[in-house]
Amino acid sequence: MRRKLLLGNWKMNKTPSEAVEFCKEAKELGKLARANKVDMGICVPYVDLVPVKKILKKSLIVGAENCHYLEKGAYTGEISIPMLKDIGIDWCIIGHSERRTYDNETSEKCNKKILALLANGITPVYCCGESLETFEANKTKEFVEEQIVTGFKDVSYDDAAKVVIAYEPIWAIGTGKNASKEIAEDICGFIRNVITKLYDRKVANKVRILYGGSVKPATVKEYLTQKDIDGALVGGASLDVNSYKELLTSLL
C-alpha cells in the first residue's frame, strides 16, 4: 500500500522570517499526518532551508526546489547536492515546469540530477506535464512518456521506486483551472504503465505519483481517492498555514 504524500512547493515566496512564523504554526501538523498515515512536507527556497529544517526537524519533510547535478564547480548561483546534504535536506524537486520554461531545464538535465540525488540518498520529486497546446492536440501521453523515459534513463531497478513523480499539466498551474479527476487519473495511470514497461509492475506499484495544478483544500480529496494518484504537489495553497492544514484535514 502506497502512503499518501502531500507536498508543498513555495516557489519564490517567503523570506526566512516569514518561513519561521509559518513553521511555528505548522509544526504540529506532522503528528496529525503520521497518525493518519500521510507523509507531508514543504519544499522551500534555498535561503529558507536552514531555518525551516531547524524548526520542523523530523516533524515534516523539508525539501529543496532544485539542485545542480555536479558536486562543485564554477556555477555561480547554483546549489550542490552536498550542500543540501550538509544541512540535512533529503528531498528535492526536479524539472518543475517553471524551471523548464524559464531556465532551460531539459529532461536530459533532469536525468543527471535524478541520478546524482539517488546516489546521495536524496528523494527526487520529478515533475512532468504538458502545455495547453499539447493537451488540445491530444498529444499529452506521448509528451509525458518522453519525459518519463528520458528522466529515468540509467536509473537502476532498485532505485526506480525511490523516485516520486509529480504530474502537473502546465495549463493548470497557477491558472485556477484544474484537470478533472478523470483526466488526472488517466495520465497518472498511464505514467504507471510507462514505469511498468521500463521496469515491471512490482516497481510501478511502489512508485508514488502525485497530481499538481491549482490543487485546493476543496478539491484535494477527489484527486487522492483515485487509484493511481498517491498525493498532491501543491503551490499557492501551501503558503498559508490554515489552507495547508485544510489540505491535510480534507483527506482525513
d(CA 224, CA 236): 18
Q: At residue 80, what is the residue type? A: S
Do 95 and 69 meet the contact criterion of CB atoms below 8 Å apart? no
168 is catalytic: yes
SS3 251: coil
* Coil vs helix vs strand at 102: helix
Contact 91, 43 (CB under 8 A): yes
Give the active site residue among 96, 105, 130, 185. Answer: 96
Question: Which cell numbers hold the place of 251?
Answer: 483527506
Q: Which of 98, 105, 130, 168 is catalytic?
A: 168
Selection from 102, 165, 168 nearest residue 130 by Cα: 168
Instruction: Please tell me the distance from the alpha carbon of residue 135 to that of residue 70, in angstroms, as a whole number.
Output: 34
Contact 92, 66 (CB under 8 A): yes
User: Would residue 222 show up in a list of annotated catalytic residues for this protein?
Assistant: no
Catalytic annotation, residues: 96, 168
